[in-house]
Amino acid sequence: MGHEASIFRVERKLGLAFTLPIFILIFILMGFPFAYTIYLSFTNKTVGMPAQFVGLANYISIFTDSTYWRVFMNTVIYTVICIVVKLVFGMLFALLLNESFHGRSITRVAMLLPWAIPGMVAANTWKWMYNDQYGIINEILRDLHIISTPIPWLGSMGLALFSVMIVNIWRGIPFFLFSILGALQSIDDQLYDAGKIDGANVFQRFFNITLPSIMPVVAISTLLSTIWTFNDFDNIWLITGGGPLNASSVIATYTYEQAFMYNDMGTGMAVAVSIIPVLVILMVLVTKHRSSENG
Amino acid sequence: MKSLKHIHTAKRIFIYVAAVLGILWSCFPIYWMIKSSLTPNDEMYELHPSLVPSRLTLDHYKQLFTQSEFMTFFLNSVYVAVITTLIAIVLAILASYAMTRLRFKGRNFIRKAIFYAYLLPTAVLFIPMYQLVSKLGLINNKNALIIVYQTIVIPYACYMLISYFAAIPKSLEEAAFVDGCTHLKALVKVILPIAAPGIAVVATFSFTMSWNEYLYAMVLMTSPSQQTVPVGISSFRYSDNMIWGLIMSSSFIASLPAVILYMFAQRFMVTGLAAGGVKQ
């Protein structure tokens, strides 16, 4: 009995020692700033000046500002469309790479590349391709006689958001592809053989065998990617800066703009805090999915 | 039988068409980056760019290394990413071992906290992080990035390592304990060798996460001597005019470390270890 107790004591001490740095990291380096964020959103803080408590003033001013709602809607549109397209194409290409054909490994490597390069590189390269004077996209469309005059991909109010979405999709497909491919490869072949014997056709096999088997991975990948896409900053900031006139502005770039361009920390933080309810819902969904998977 | 063969051929054709489209879609922008980095300026700023350059030049690369601060950015990035990864991996291994093998109070609490920290986006945290770092007087000190990046990398690394470690049967260590091993020794002698491929993959992604990070680096490092590659590259411009030759050549070099590491890691990734994944 004494031996058991001493083992337990050792485990407790070691356990606390091994997790102490993580505890400090999460609660001091993340938790404290996070709480401070919420506090700042109730003040009129600007750089170099002390913060004064202003109650709900920042929230009232952003919620009554039509620009905020435009930016919020942009964020929702950006997230929903990007996620749907990334998921559909990620799944299609995962099904493709799960077949055996000549050149499969080269295709796999090629399709991994957009995910492997830094986001900043993807953003700059696409910005250059979108260039309305020297860009290759307009040139190809002109050569194919699809357009006669160059299209201002990033400068037009109607197109800017669409153009940055393409880049997010380009970079994001491999995440879905490789998550789903991993799930596909762990499906037992015997299930398909049994399906074939029972006379199930390709579509029946897909909906009755493949889809249910990869569903947990699809769900968790979709939720994680939704959180990241909803909070995307680099892509939009580097390509359009949110412009023209906030046409491609999303919550993350709008937060930055308020806090660092207009030097209004309080409003910036109110914008950041205003999306926390959305974030909490997504986080709860992820946690639920994980526990149902583990249990 | 003949119609079955027909279907088979149609399927083959469909597969190859899809594969070619997938490769073109994924690789064309990368081709265009490399092509532009090798195209002389007069040809680059022609109103009708051609798909294949008529002449190649290394001028942009020469200018990058001799007339710009790219080397400083590059060395800063290497320094920050390597040290961030080393610290994060050691701390994450210890914590993940504790959370899968040791019984102690608060274990589940920390596990949950790690998961929520993993999900918390930088877009919510960057303003208070800026306040904190400036209170500490560490703005424009690249070491601040090493500390700040731990908040991104450690939760990810723990999240992944906990599932690797949990999959290793406990009976293996029990044999070591019978031989009189301590916990630390069991971790080093039993767990680490088995988990090595997984740890390598996690280290790879940790490195690329720090290598690619842009938002914190932009907000916290404003002086070129402390900037990392993603922020530094964006400064290659005259007011609103981007210097595309420099941007494309530096982008190509900035892509190399992460791409090489991904190629190395991808054979582990397709075995189903990608689940969880990396922040995009």
| Length of chain A as a residue count | 295
Dihedral sign computed on CA atoms, order A171, A172, A174, A178: positive
* pLDDT of amino acid B272: 42
Within 8 A by CB and 6+ apart from A147, the residues are A138, A141
Average pLDDT over residues B97-122: 89
* Residue-level pLDDT at A226: 94
Q: Judge if B30 and B125 occupy the same domain.
A: no
Please give the structure tokens belonging to residue B123: 């877009």
Does B18 touch chain A if contact means CB atoms closer than 8 Å? yes
Domain termination residue (choose one: B14, B38, B57): B57
More confident residue, B266 or B166: B166
Q: Look up the CATH number of domain A66-294.
A: 1.10.3720.10
Distance between CA B90 and CA A236 in Å, rounded? 34
In-domain check, residue B280 = no
**Range from A278-292, B27-41, B80-94 carrying the lowest mean pLDDT:** A278-292
Q: Establish if B78 touches chain A: CB-CB under 8 angstroms.
A: no
Q: Is B155 found in the same domain as B33?
A: no
DSSP B270: I
- Select, from the ranges A10-19, B40-49, B80-89, B203-212, the one with the highest average predicted confidence (pLDDT): B80-89
Question: Is the Cβ pair A171, B280 closer than 8 Å?
Answer: yes
Q: Judged by CB atoms within 8 Å, which residues 79-118 of A form the interface with B?
A: 92-93, 96, 99, 101, 103-104, 106-118
B10: in domain: yes
Judge: B272–A279 Cβ closer than 8 Å, yes or no.
Answer: no
Residues A33-37: contacts with CB under 8 Å, at least 24 apart: A33/B125, A33/B128, A33/B129, A33/B131, A33/B132, A34/B120, A34/B124, A34/B125, A34/B128, A36/B128, A36/B131, A36/B132, A37/A269, A37/A272, A37/A273, A37/B124, A37/B125, A37/B127, A37/B128
A contacts of B258 (beta carbons < 8 Å): 116-118
Model confidence pLDDT, tens digit, residues A181-211: 988 988 888 888 888 888 888 888 888 888 8
State the pTM of this model.
0.90
Tally the domains of chain B.
2
Residues B120 and B241 in one domain: yes
The pLDDT, as a whole number, for residue A85 is 98
A170 contacts chain B (CB < 8 A): yes
- Residues B123 and B148 reside in one and the same domain: yes
Task: Render pLDDT for B115-152 as a digit per residue (tens, 0 to 9).
Answer: 889 888 888 889 889 988 988 999 999 999 999 999 99
Query: Is residue B77 one of the residues assigned to a domain?
Result: yes
Among A22, A105, A254, pick the best mutation site for testing chain B contact (most B Cβ within 10 A): A22
Distance (Å) from the alpha carbon of A151 to chain B's nearest alpha carbon: 14
- Would you state the pLDDT for residue A2? 63
Residues B94 and B204 in one domain: yes
Can you give the pLDDT at residue B47? 81
> Quick check: A96 and B19 CB within 8 A?
yes
Per CB-CB distance under 8 Å, the chain B contacts of A93 are 18, 22
Can you give the pLDDT at residue B1?
Answer: 55
Q: Which of residues 128-147 of A touch B (CB under 8 A)?
A: 128-129, 133-136, 139
Nearest-Cα distance to chain B for A66, in Å, is: 22
Maximum average pLDDT range among A41-45, A121-125, B168-172: A121-125
Q: What integer best gives the mean pLDDT of chain B?
A: 88
pLDDT at B182: 83
Residue of B nearest to A36 (CA): B128
Q: Which two tokens stand for residue B181?
A: 């091993």
What contacts A152, CB < 8 A, 6 or more positions away? A132, A159
Residue B53, in any domain of the structure: yes
Q: What is the mean pLDDT of residues B224-232?
A: 93
Are B47 and B122 contained in the same domain? no
For A114-139, what is the mean pLDDT?
93
Of all residues in chain A, the one with the smallest CA distance to B229 is: A120
Residue A244 in tokens = 């023209």
pLDDT band for position B274 (cuts 50, 70, 90): very low
Choose among A12, A182, A231: nearest Cβ to B271: A182
Residues of chain A neighbouring B151 (CB-CB closer than 8 A): 25-26, 29-30
Maximal CA-CA distance, chain A: 86
Distance between CA A32 and CA B211 in Å, rounded?
Answer: 26
- Region B246-270: mean pLDDT is 85
Residue B99 sits in the same domain as residue B188: yes
A295 and chain B in contact, CB less than 8 A = no
Domain identity same for B87 and B186: yes
pLDDT band of residue B215 (cuts 50, 70, 90) is very high
Of B26, B126, B129, which is closest to A113 when you measure between CB atoms?
A: B26
| Predicted pLDDT at B273 | 44
Residues from chain A that touch B163, judged by Cβ atoms under 8 A, are: none
Q: How confident is the model at residue B276 (pLDDT cuts 50, 70, 90)?
A: very low
Least confident of A220-234, B173-187, B257-271: B257-271
The predicted structure's pLDDT at residue B238 = 81
Whether A169 and chain B come into contact, CB under 8 Å, resolves to no
Q: Do B29 and A259 touch (CB under 8 A)?
A: no
Domain stops at, among B38, B57, B76: B57
Question: Residue B135: inside a domain, yes or no?
Answer: yes
The length of chain B is 280
Percent of chain A exceeding pLDDT 70 equals 97
> Considering chain B, what percentage of its residues have pLDDT values greater than 90?
48
Query: Does B62 fall in a domain?
Result: no
Q: Nearest Cβ partner of A118 from B25, B117, B212? A: B212
Residues of chain A with Cβ-Cβ distance to B255 below 8 Å are 116-118, 121
Q: Domain for residue B137, yes or no?
A: yes
- Verify that B139 and B210 share a domain, yes or no: yes
* CB distance A96 to A140 below 8 Å: no
Residues B32 and B163 in one domain: no
Whether B221 maps to a domain, the answer reads: yes
Q: In this predicted model, which residue has the larger pLDDT, B123 or B239?
A: B123
Domain ranges of chain A: 66-294
Is the bond into A244 cis (omega within 30 degrees of 0)? yes
Residues B10 and B33 in one domain: yes
Q: What is the CATH number of the domain that holds B181?
A: 1.10.3720.10
Same-domain status, B53 and B71: no
| pLDDT per residue as tens digits for the range A204-253 | 888 888 888 899 889 989 999 999 999 999 999 999 999 899 999 999 99
Residue B30 to residue A276, Cβ atoms within 8 A: no
Measured in angstroms, the CA of A189 and the nearest CA of chain B are apart by 16
Q: Which range of residues forms the domain containing residue B216?
A: 67-273
Instruction: Work out the mean pLDDT of chain A and round it to a whole number.
Output: 89
| pLDDT > 50? residue B225 | yes
Q: Would you state the pLDDT for residue B184?
A: 83
